[in-house]
Chains A and B, each alone.
Chain A
Amino acid sequence: MAPVLFLLCACVGPPAPDVELCRDVITRLCAEPVCSGVTAKLNTPAMGCEAELQRRSGCDVAEFAFTTPTRDRVLECRLPLVRESNLVVAHPPCEYVDETFRNCPDLVGFLGGTP
């Protein structure tokens, strides 16, 4: 069994810290051009979308850790955003962004938006 586990482990790296995961969600939402749903739901400014959302959620500090929503909940809500690509810089299609907001009003609230 050990070699098989080793083989499986070889496909992934270590878990990303909560702060990096939080910033990954915000980076994907604020990737240019910003989707209209983001502006409408999260009331983000025209400039400095990432900085504003990090401030609202608290993940602008390195010691950030998820409480509500939990890390697992965030991962679940993030699924449509990584459906096309795992790359951090990838821009998710706007309909996937809308799907995320539809499924996760708690995430919208966490990011300071209107559920």
Chain B
Amino acid sequence: MKRLGALVLLPLLAGCTTIESNTRIERGPLLRTFERPVLLEGSITADVRADWPWLKLTVVSNDVCRAQQVEEYAEEHITERTSAAVGPALSTGIANVLASAVLLGSSFIVTSTADTKLIDASGHYGPSTRQYLQGASIVTLGIGLPSLVVGLIGKLRTGDDVVTKRAEQVVSQKDARCNERPATGPMTLVSAQGVAVPFQSVDGAIDVDGTKLAVVPEALRFAEREVELTEEARATFAAWAACVSLEQDKAKTLESLSESGLLTRAERLRECRKIRGDALAEPVRLIDAELGRRRETGSPAAWAPGTNVSSFEEAVSAYAPTLKLAVNSKDLAILDTPESAEGRAVLLEGLVGEGLTENIGVIQVGERQVFLFIPPRKSWGGTFPNGTRVEVVALLSGRQTLGEKTLPLLRAVWMRTAW
């Protein structure tokens, strides 16, 4: 029974003290440095060669061999266990137990004779002085002993634990392509609309006939992974794709194409010509002739500046400016009689001057000034603050009077910062 009581009492007393645990890590000395090789999944690349109508692909997969430089340290995990209750409990316990001992000791040097001056209701004399002191000793012991036990248990449970472990730190790593091998598996050519044309690569080799395709491919995928291409390979693939597009579009005559369709075909011809060379010289000549004819005879609305080109180069290509308005250019003489050259494309180089209205500004060309009309639906971006040097593809549009100024008016087709 007594043992059971002690077993119950001890955990209860131990529960009175809250132990706070705090672990910190201290790095020790460097033990060693070593290199750890790690093999990671690499990429899929392809070598691209075009020999119209064939696209010859050599698909190669590789791994990434990573070399990690690792430093190994000794690391000490120090766990500190403290309790705010231990100190007060111990001091209370010690003080009361000592007081109890003093009271008990003192009781033996005082009288043990009962107090005969009183007899209580039960017929007993009053307690002796010794009995008083021993009773007080028991009370102080009853306070001091549990406090002492709680304090001692708390003291035993507090302290520091140090565990030494090894820790690693990757200080640097270097990746390199490795294990290159021809890739065998499912390959797809994917169009801009997401249509996939499946092929099967054998030992990495695939030959695609551009005349047999129903879509224009835009990307290469191998087993659902994007095939990475070098800049040169990407250009070759884009040129071959342009040829595929022309092949699929060859039934349409030049006369049946809209202006934008005509410009698109001209762009594709220039792209395809990179791999087919002089074989496309005649189609290029024909489409340039058609573009020139439409500039001369087509409706002005169809050629509304800034609406049907998407780059400066395309504007130059499409409008083929024959006059250059720049400092010291002999063509500046045309500004004396702009009405005589109305509708002609010019290449203008100058400095941005003041803006007169939302869409009309002044461009300074040497000592000459012109008005430049910028259409509301312009395709180019950017801002051109005063003093910016710009180059503009524009159409001569006669003369314009704004305020006190009367200057030649040019309608911008494309405008960009010059440097």
A→B interface (CB under 8 Å): 3, 6-7, 9-16, 20-21, 24, 71, 75, 78-79, 82, 85-89
Interchain nearest-CB distance for B20 vs A (Å):
35
Q: Which residues of A contact B120 (CB under 8 A)?
A: 12, 82, 86
Q: How far does the alpha carbon of A1 sit from the alpha carbon of B177 in the complex, in Å?
A: 84
Interchain nearest-CB distance for A87 vs B (Å):
5
A78 in complex: contacting residue of B121, B126, B134, B135, CB < 8 Å = B121
In contact, A88 and B118 (Cβ under 8 angstroms): yes
**A10 touching B131 in the complex, CB below 8 Å, given contacts A15-B123, A75-B123:** yes
B119 in complex: contacting residue of A3, A24, A79, CB < 8 Å = A24
Total contacting residues, chain B, CB less than 8 A: 22
B226 at interface (Cβ–Cβ under 8 A)?
Answer: no
A16 in complex: contacting residue of B125, B134, B135, B142, CB < 8 Å = B125
**A12 touching B127 in the complex, CB below 8 Å, given contacts A3-B138, A6-B134, A7-B138:** yes
Looking at chain B's contact residues, the main secondary structure is: mixed
In contact, B128 and A13 (Cβ under 8 angstroms): yes
B→A interface (CB under 8 Å): 114-128, 131-132, 134-135, 138-139, 142
Interchain nearest-CB distance for B310 vs A (Å):
103
In contact, A13 and B122 (Cβ under 8 angstroms): no
In contact, A9 and B131 (Cβ under 8 angstroms): yes
A-B contact pairs, 10 of them (CB 8 A): A3-B138, A9-B131, A10-B131, A10-B135, A13-B115, A13-B124, A20-B116, A21-B119, A75-B123, A86-B126
In contact, B117 and A87 (Cβ under 8 angstroms): yes
Q: How far does the alpha carbon of A11 sit from the alpha carbon of B136 in the complex, in Å?
A: 11
Q: How far does the alpha carbon of A76 sit from the alpha carbon of B203 in the complex, in Å?
A: 120
In contact, B127 and A10 (Cβ under 8 angstroms): yes
Q: How far does the alpha carbon of A9 sit from the alpha carbon of B124 in the complex, in Å?
A: 11
Q: Which residues of A contact B124 (CB under 8 A)?
A: 12-16
Q: Which residues of B contact A75 (CB under 8 A)?
A: 121-123
Q: Which residues of A contact B119 (CB under 8 A)?
A: 16, 20-21, 24, 82, 86, 88
Closest Cβ neighbor of A7 among chain B residues: B138
In contact, B138 and A10 (Cβ under 8 angstroms): yes
In contact, A13 and B114 (Cβ under 8 angstroms): yes
In contact, B134 and A10 (Cβ under 8 angstroms): yes
A11 in complex: contacting residue of B116, B121, B127, CB < 8 Å = B127
Q: Which residues of A contact B138 (CB under 8 A)?
A: 3, 6-7, 10
Q: How far does the alpha carbon of A92 sit from the alpha carbon of B332 in the complex, in Å?
A: 142
Interchain nearest-CB distance for B377 vs A (Å):
104
In contact, A14 and B131 (Cβ under 8 angstroms): no
Q: How far does the alpha carbon of A14 sit from the alpha carbon of B122 in the complex, in Å?
A: 11
In contact, A87 and B132 (Cβ under 8 angstroms): no
